[in-house]
């Protein structure tokens, strides 16, 4: 990879939730303080939410790594399970035997374990990640676990971690009792625009070289425009920026470099609006389909104009060859121009399609497939004759 080229010890923008790379933005620092406060205060339920890729799991791993005094932690990261499986995973992470035990035995074993921990002066904490996948029934069963208590207080603290949909689920009337027991709730927001630069540089520094790459003016603005400060998306884009710079033997990157990388990756489609059901809420506001269609249309039009200018220069060369009477050169140039004409016609068809697509999107009409760049197989056999290109007609007459 590019580590040796940039004198790095590791990949600074790896997607693994590594707490060593956690950047304490305002929102992350506040959330970590709330979590520690809730645990130290023996609060029954704590809620942590955030968009996909906002850094929830990394924050939780930082919490685990912080070695809270006399705290026994259990972590559940797979939540697409039934009630018996959920209990088994909780008990297993607390170190209890689960094989061959039914739901009743699992609850009894957990209760006895929590009482023993409480007697030793330890505090049991359960962290459930991806909690937005839990059904109403499972969330109610989780609430029932918080009923395990003594006269001195709760035997189990529960931290629910999930995407924003979790808050909507908790708003259900069926979960009123659970909702009322949540005393600490925090939400991770994306990085602010003025935090993005330091986020990127801090990760490079922790990987061994803060000055690995020089970022020219406008680079961070372009990164923010395409990622909206979502840490995971920033990591993905910056990883590609480093790969691109390494491949080109450069130690600096420009805004135009980022624009080209985003275009090559089809970043908007891949990470934002490609799947509207999974895209963050700001997708529909900041990346409307009409804007995308217009952008694509402009790019296609620019390519067509470049091809037209190229064709004009080639025609000038062809005219000079005609004056010299070089027949072989003329035939070769005619063949090349005909291929260029076909390419131009195909690009023109795609531009027409982009124009119609932007109009259809704006009016809510279904988008039709783009015109074919070539004839349907077998079509040539149905035609009595093939019309010569305009280049041939121009040079050899209309015969």
- 348 lies in some domain: yes
The whole-number pLDDT of residue 129 equals 93
Instruction: Tell me which of 159, 188, 217 is where a domain ends.
Output: 188
Please state whether beta strands 123-128 and 156-162 pair in parallel, antiparallel, or not at all (unpaired).
Answer: parallel
Identify the DSSP state of 269: I
- 365 lies in some domain: yes
Q: Is 166 within 8 Å of 54 (Cβ atoms)?
A: no
195-225: pLDDT as tens digits: 999 999 999 999 999 999 999 999 999 999 9
CA nearest 354: which of 305, 290, 303, 264? 290
Q: Residue 378 pLDDT more than 50? A: no
Q: Cα–Cα distance between 199 and 224 in angstroms, integer?
A: 12
Please tell me whether residues 215 and 305 are part of one structural domain: no
State phi, psi for 286 to the nearest 5 degrees. Answer: -95, -20
Q: Residue 49 pLDDT more than 80? A: yes
Mean pLDDT of 131-139: 94
The whole-number pLDDT of residue 235 equals 96
Please tell me whether residues 124 and 87 are part of one structural domain: yes
341: domain range?
Answer: 290-396
84-104: pLDDT as tens digits: 999 999 999 999 999 999 999
pTM of the model: 0.67
306-319: pLDDT as tens digits: 666 666 666 666 66
- 9 lies in some domain: no
* Number of structural domains found in the chain: 3
Q: Is 330 within 8 Å of 318 (Cβ atoms)?
A: yes
- pLDDT class for 339, splitting at 50, 70, 90? confident
Task: Indicate the angle between helix axes 136-145 and 83-93, nearest 10 degrees.
Answer: 40
Q: Residue 357 pLDDT more than 70? A: no
CA nearest 32: which of 2, 69, 65? 65
Report the chain's C-alpha Rg in angstroms.
31
Average pLDDT, the chain: 80
Mean pLDDT of 368-386: 45
Mean pLDDT of 121-127: 93
Instruction: Tell me which of 168, 188, 208 is where a domain ends.
Output: 188
| Helix (H) or strand (E) run with residue 74 in it | strand 71-76
Q: Cα–Cα distance between 49 and 47 in angstroms, integer?
A: 7
- 183 lies in some domain: yes
Please tell me whether residues 40 and 151 are part of one structural domain: yes
The whole-number pLDDT of residue 43 equals 84
Q: Which is higher by pLDDT, 344 or 114?
A: 114
Please tell me whether residues 225 and 181 are part of one structural domain: no
Instruction: Tell me which of 264, 287, 310 is where a domain ends.
Output: 287
Q: Residue 146 pLDDT more than 80? A: yes
CATH of the domain at 88: 3.40.50.300
CA quadruple 60, 29, 222, 201: dihedral positive or negative?
Answer: negative
SS3 state at 313 = helix
The residue whose two tokens read 């061994």 is 208
The distance of Cα 364 from the centroid of its chain, to the nearest Å, equals: 27
Q: Is 225 within 8 Å of 268 (Cβ atoms)?
A: no
Q: Cα–Cα distance between 253 and 6 in angstroms, integer?
A: 13
- Give, in order, the Cα–Cα distances in Å from 347 to each of 121, 263, 289: 73, 17, 21
Taking residue 74's Cβ as centre, other Cβ atoms within 10 Å add up to 21
């Amino acid at each position: 990879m590019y580590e040796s080229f940039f004198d790095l010890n590791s990949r600074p923008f790896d997607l693994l939730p590594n707490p060593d790379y956690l950047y304490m933005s305002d929102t992350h620092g506040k959330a970590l303080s709330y979590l520690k406060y809730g645990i130290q205060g023996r609060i029954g339920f704590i809620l942590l939410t955030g968009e996909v890729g906002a850094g929830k799991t990394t924050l939780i791993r930082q919490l685990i790594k912080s070695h809270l005094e006399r705290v026994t932690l259990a972590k559940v990261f797979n939540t697409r399970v039934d009630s018996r499986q959920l209990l088994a995973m909780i008990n297993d992470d607390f170190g209890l035997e689960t094989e061959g035990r039914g739901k009743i035995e699992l609850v009894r074993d957990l209760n006895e374990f929590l009482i023993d921990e409480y007697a030793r002066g330890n505090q049991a904490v359960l962290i459930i990640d991806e909690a937005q996948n839990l059904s109403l029934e499972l969330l109610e069963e989780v609430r029932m676990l918080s009923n395990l208590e003594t006269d001195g207080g709760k035997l189990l603290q529960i931290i629910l971690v999930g995407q924003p949909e979790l808050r909507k689920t908790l708003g259900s009337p069926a979960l009123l009792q659970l909702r009322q027991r949540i005393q600490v709730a925090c939400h991770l927001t994306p990085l602010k625009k003025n935090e993005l630069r330091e986020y990127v540089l801090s990760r490079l520094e922790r990987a061994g070289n803060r000055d690995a790459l020089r970022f020219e003016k406008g680079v961070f603005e372009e990164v923010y425009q395409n990622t909206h400060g979502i840490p995971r998306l920033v990591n993905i884009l910056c990883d590609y920026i480093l790969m691109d710079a390494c491949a080109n033997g450069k130690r600096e990157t420009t805004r135009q470099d980022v624009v080209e990388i985003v275009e090559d990756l089809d970043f908007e489609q891949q990470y934002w609006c490609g799947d509207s059901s999974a895209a963050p809420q700001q997708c529909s506001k900041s990346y409307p389909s009409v804007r995308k269609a217009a952008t694509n249309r402009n790019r296609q039009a620019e390519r067509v104009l470049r091809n037209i200018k190229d064709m004009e220069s080639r025609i000038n060369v062809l005219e000079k060859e005609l004056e010299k009477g070089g027949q072989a050169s003329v035939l070769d140039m005619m063949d090349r121009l005909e291929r260029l004409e076909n390419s131009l016609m195909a690009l023109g068809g795609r531009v027409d399609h982009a124009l119609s697509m932007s109009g259809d999107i704006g009016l809510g009409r279904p988008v039709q497939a783009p015109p074919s760049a070539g004839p349907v197989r077998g079509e040539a056999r149905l035609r009595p004759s093939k019309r010569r290109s305009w280049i041939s007609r121009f040079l050899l007459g209309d015969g």
